[in-house]
Chain A
Amino acid sequence: MKDKIRELLGKLGGLPVAVDTLADGADLYAAGLSSFASVQLMLGIEDAFDIEFPDHLLNRKSFASIDAIAETVSAIVEGREAA
């Protein structure tokens, strides 16, 4: 899952640095992720994983790092599977 997230981040994140140079826990905002790019990333992730972020997860924290995105996506996927 993290590989897919990295791929989307590279494509949609508009980061000034290569995604390969970022650790999974690295702060993406500090790395240059803009608000607008985070929206593009959000839409890309929804499409790729066939999920929809619930309103309460549409916040800055959910997109703060590759780890954070993976956790958020897992939580949504598990929630859907449980439902």
Chain B
Amino acid sequence: MDMQVTFLDRLFDSGLLIDTGVEGLYARSGTFEDVITGFERLIDKFSGETGAEVIRFPPGMNRSYFEGSGYMKNFPQLAGTVHCFCGDDLAHADLIQCMAAGEDWTGGQKASDIVLTPAACYPLYPIVAKRGNLQAGGGLFNIQSYCFRHEPSMDPARMQLFRMREFVRMGKPEDVMAFRQEWMEKGKELMAQVALPVDIDVANDPFFGRAGRLMKNNQRDQNLKFELLIPITSVSKPTACMSFNYHQDHFGKTWDLKTVDGETAHTACVGFGLERIALALFHHHGLDPKLWPQQVRDALFG
């Protein structure tokens, strides 16, 4: 914990991250953003001409899609909803009075049609399903979104608002599994280009509650999730900087997503935690990118 505070303090002191007074909610400096931009460019360069459809999402998604995704069944503790004032003059007067008195003013806020996106690919599946059956060969998407997870922490690698870059594959089970397998190798190669030490291990999502324990064990037993881990704030507990997820037909069934033959599509995604990767680079190569090893600079900024 001391080490986490220290790294976060150093990030604040150097100006790379700027404190907002809320744990896990930080502003980023130009230098920090340059690293993220450089790494995203490296992902594109490294993956080459994949023909993936590029989509960039805003940080919020359609609430009805969120509800349909089943996210609240599994991760209610992490979700963030957007609530807004929808009252009249009288309600407004009450609101201002509450705020002035330092009382809770949020009770009258009403849920809007927007929910903060919990993972970059959640808004993708219903959008693609609405287009009709996938084309022959399935689908491949290159997506990015700011994501929200309500888990305040002093660990700079556990932000509440962060960017997730993903490749998402949809199609036949064998194609989708091959895609994930291929990326588990590629992920290691990619991180080697920026001289980061990695380990890949089986993992589980943070399913909620006792029912979640069964979900976690099921996920691990079936090798549905792997993570690429890099030590950032702890050597014994390295941070997941990439994940490789096979959803089987979960999203296919949820959204009635079909292959060209009308079979329920299987899906997999490969995610990059962009802030975590930037933090790993700052931790391993120092807080000033101008002083990073030439190989790393060439890969990111060349």
Contact = CB atoms under 8 A, between A and B. Distances in A.
Contacts of B211: 39, 42-43
A60 interface: yes
B215 A39 contact: yes
A65 interface: no
Interface in A30-78: 34-36, 38-39, 42-43, 53, 55, 58-60, 63
B217 interface: yes
A59 B217 contact: yes
B70 A36 contact: yes
Contact of B217 (A34, A43, A60): A60
A38 B212 CA distance: 11
Given A36-B70, A36-B73, A60 B221 contact: yes
Given A39-B211, A42-B211, A58 B217 contact: yes
A34 B250 CA distance: 9
A59 B210 contact: no
B69 interface: no
A36 to B, nearest CB: 7
Nearest to B218: A35
A60 B217 CA distance: 7
B219 interface: yes
Interface residues of B, number: 13
Interface of chain B: mostly helix, strand, loop or mixed: helix
B211 to A, nearest CB: 4
Nearest to A35: B218
A46 to B, nearest CB: 9
A1 B301 CA distance: 66
B70 A59 contact: no
User: Which of B218, B219, B221 has the most chain A CB atoms inside 10 A of its CB?
Assistant: B218
A78 B178 CA distance: 46
Contacts of B221: 59-60
Give the size category of A's interface with B: 10 to 19
A60 B224 CA distance: 13
Contacts of B215: 35-36, 39
Residue from B73, B213, B221 whose CB has the most chain A CB atoms within 10 Å: B213
B214 interface: yes
Contacts of A53: 210, 214
A81 to B, nearest CB: 22
Given A35-B215, A35-B219, A39-B215, A58 B70 contact: no
B139 to A, nearest CB: 23
Residue picked from A34, A39, A43, A63, most chain B C-beta under 10 Å: A39
Contacts of A60: 217-218, 221-222
Interface in B52-87: 70, 73
A55 B218 contact: no
Contact of B213 (A34, A36, A43, A58): A58
B210 to A, nearest CB: 7
For the complex of A and B, the 5 pairs showing the least CB-CB separation, nearest first, are A59-B217, A58-B214, A39-B211, A58-B213, A35-B218
Interface of B: 70, 73, 210-211, 213-215, 217-219, 221-222, 250
Given A58-B214, A59-B214, A60-B222, 12 more contacts: A35-B214, A38-B218, A39-B215, A42-B211, A42-B214, A53-B214, A55-B213, A58-B213, A58-B217, A59-B217, A60-B217, A60-B221
6 contacts: A34-B250, A35-B219, A38-B218, A39-B211, A59-B218, A60-B218
